[in-house]
Structure 1
Amino acid sequence: MDRAQLADFLRARREALQPEDVGLLRGPVRRTSGLRREEVAVLAGMSVDYYNRIEQQRGSMPSEQMLAGLARGLRLTLAERDHLFRLAGHAAPVRRIRDDHPSPVMMRIVASLADVPALLFSQFGEVLLQTRPAVALLGGDWTRFSGLSRYLVYRWFVEPAMRDLYPIEDHPLRGRVFVADIRAAYSADPGGKAGEIVAALLEVSAEFAAIWRRHEVDVVHHHDLKRYRHAELGELELYCQPVLDRDQSHELLVFTAVPGSPSQEKLRMLAAV
């Protein structure tokens, strides 16, 4: 672990960012040229004291989880993330087809969508980033899950509460869509993470196994109309516009409603909810 270089690197990246780059308000008085240490700590999901100790070349070796949080909070590129890990005494994460590190560009796009429901998905259906209106729409923070529950298709077939988000008559179609999505990832890398998800679902869900045997690959497009159920606002009819990051194999979904429709008014109310 190179404490001096690690501290210098973090300081340089922190000072290169402005509050607007990470979705923060600048405020009336600001002496710091870039981000404050406490702002980086919040973005990385760690205590201010812990982050201060790293920049002051004190404390123990940061864990890989802490480094991943710093890489996201500081909007590092993959090359910068790898450099960060090496400075901290860890091997750089292996760059397989599965990579859950959003690009800085996607992180900036999501930060700019503060008033719009939007989610950034990995190709395996894991939510990597989520706006606050999306949390309100979906009834919770979908980035909080661990294990196989991180993946949307797994929760759909294993955790029944996941289905409450959609009208019951839409459940068969939603299940086919989720299976088609994981099949696309499986076809690209059957021995990787998608293979692990499929194998687990074939073991525990007869419903998944039956749909899997259909070999459907093009069930519905993301921009087709979807219906969502909200506990307080009722049903919303929304369109999902995908924005692809081909280098990372990530997909950003932005939710919109027909202008002047009841669903558009309900989207405006999500912030209050």
Structure 2
Amino acid sequence: MDKQALAAFLRHCRERLRPEDAGLPAGPRRRTPGLRREEVAVLAHISTEYYVRLEQGRAPRPSAEVLAGIAGALRLTETESDHLHLLAGTAPLRSGLHRRDVRPSILALLDRLPQTAAFVTSAIFEVLAWNELAAALMEDFAPGDRNLARKAFRPGPTLYGVQDVTEFRHSVVARLRSSLARYPSDPLVTGLVDDLLTESAEFARLWGQHEVQPAAMLTKTFHHPAVGPVTVECDTLVLPDRDQYVVLYSAPRGSRDADALALLSVLGPQSLTR
């Protein structure tokens, strides 16, 4: 049980709710945002004293039933509820280290998608495998740092020519917070989060918001040096057994963007050379 992280998450979720969201009258002007602690306690059917101790990091581990009541009172999503249980220690953690080995069948799948830029990321956004079109559209991943979280918050040119990385940054922070809860003893996970907190003020600001619900990204536009702007549809397949993600970038058949991807598949990764 991570008492301090649980306390911070509860405060964040309570303060973002309006009384009317929970079916309560707004009443007189409130001095602080969100619901009052006693209101959450009533909605969750627990004592106010116990809920206050939870938010102060002083309470013993709550039961699964208590957490379910709190999740309902705070209107948590399924992802947020899972995160709540992880912080409270009532859900099983993953093994000590996150998986970085990709199944051979997934590696073969990447090569069978000639019109789709496809790659696999770990629980902390490390690119583990990719096909040639992904390398041509984004970068040759073979040399250097392949962690997309670091690239998203690194000062300098935008990520792969993408003009607006705001949504992706929010998704990075949300997923890393969940990954840290699942792998609290993995040095690669803790080290990445510590580095980003130290190196990026923007990451630290977003981290302080305690979001764990990644934003859905339906399209993304790359500004490629060889073929110009390419807008792709974004789909992500989750591999639960390894906590990995297959990311697919494609374009509607017959569109200018599909033609650009087809040209990139011929040009290959060298098309990124300016």
Check whether TM > 0.5: yes
**Is contact 2:98-2:183 (8 Å) kept?**
no
Provide structure 2 residue ranges, at least 5 long, that are not aligned to the other structure. 1-94, 268-274
The runs of at least 4 aligned residues of structure 1 exceeding 6 Å deviation read: none
Is 1:185 the counterpart of 2:184? The answer is: no
1:183 and 1:165 map into 2 onto residues whose CA distance is: 26
Is 1:202 the counterpart of 2:197? The answer is: yes
2:140 and 2:121 map into 1 onto residues whose CA distance is: 13
Q: Residue in 2 aligned with 1:125?
A: 125
Is 1:225 the counterpart of 2:219? The answer is: yes
2:127 and 2:228 map into 1 onto residues whose CA distance is: 24
Q: Residue in 2 aligned with 1:263?
A: 257
3-state SS of the aligned residue for 1:191? coil
Q: Residue in 2 aligned with 1:141?
A: 140
2:159 and 2:107 map into 1 onto residues whose CA distance is: 28
Per-residue CA deviation, residues 213-236 of structure 1 (Å, 9 max, x unaligned), is 1122224224x1112111121111
Alignment partner for residue 230 of structure 2, among 224, 229, 236?
A: 236
1:188 and 1:229 map into 2 onto residues whose CA distance is: 35
Is 1:158 the counterpart of 2:157? The answer is: no
**Is contact 1:239-1:255 (8 Å) kept?**
yes
1:171 and 1:102 map into 2 onto residues whose CA distance is: 27
Distance 1:264 1:252, change over 3 A: same
1:100 and 1:121 map into 2 onto residues whose CA distance is: 9
TM-score, normalised by the number of residues in structure 2 = 0.58
3-state SS of the aligned residue for 2:226? coil
Q: Which is bigger in relative contact order (C-alpha 8 A, separation at least 6)?
A: 2
The total of aligned residue pairs comes to: 172
**Is contact 1:111-1:131 (8 Å) kept?**
yes
Shift of 1:115: 4.1
Distance 1:261 1:126, change over 3 A: same
Report percent identity of matched pairs: 24
Q: Residue in 1 aligned with 2:239?
A: 245
Q: Residue in 2 aligned with 1:19?
A: none
**Is contact 2:123-2:243 (8 Å) kept?**
yes
1:143 and 1:166 map into 2 onto residues whose CA distance is: 20
1:171 and 1:154 map into 2 onto residues whose CA distance is: 12
2:97 and 2:176 map into 1 onto residues whose CA distance is: 14
**Is contact 1:130-1:143 (8 Å) kept?**
no
What do you get for the CA RMSD once the two structures are aligned?
A: 2.0
Per-residue CA deviation, residues 69-101 of structure 1 (Å, 9 max, x unaligned), is xxxxxxxxxxxxxxxxxxxxxxxxxx7432211
Q: Residue in 2 aligned with 1:105?
A: 105
Provide structure 1 residue ranges, at least 5 long, that are not aligned to the other structure. 1-94
Q: Residue in 2 aligned with 1:175?
A: 169
Shift of 1:203: 1.0
Q: What letter corresponds to residue 103 of structure 2 in structure 1?
A: S
1:272 and 1:184 map into 2 onto residues whose CA distance is: 39
TM-score, normalised by the number of residues in structure 1 = 0.58
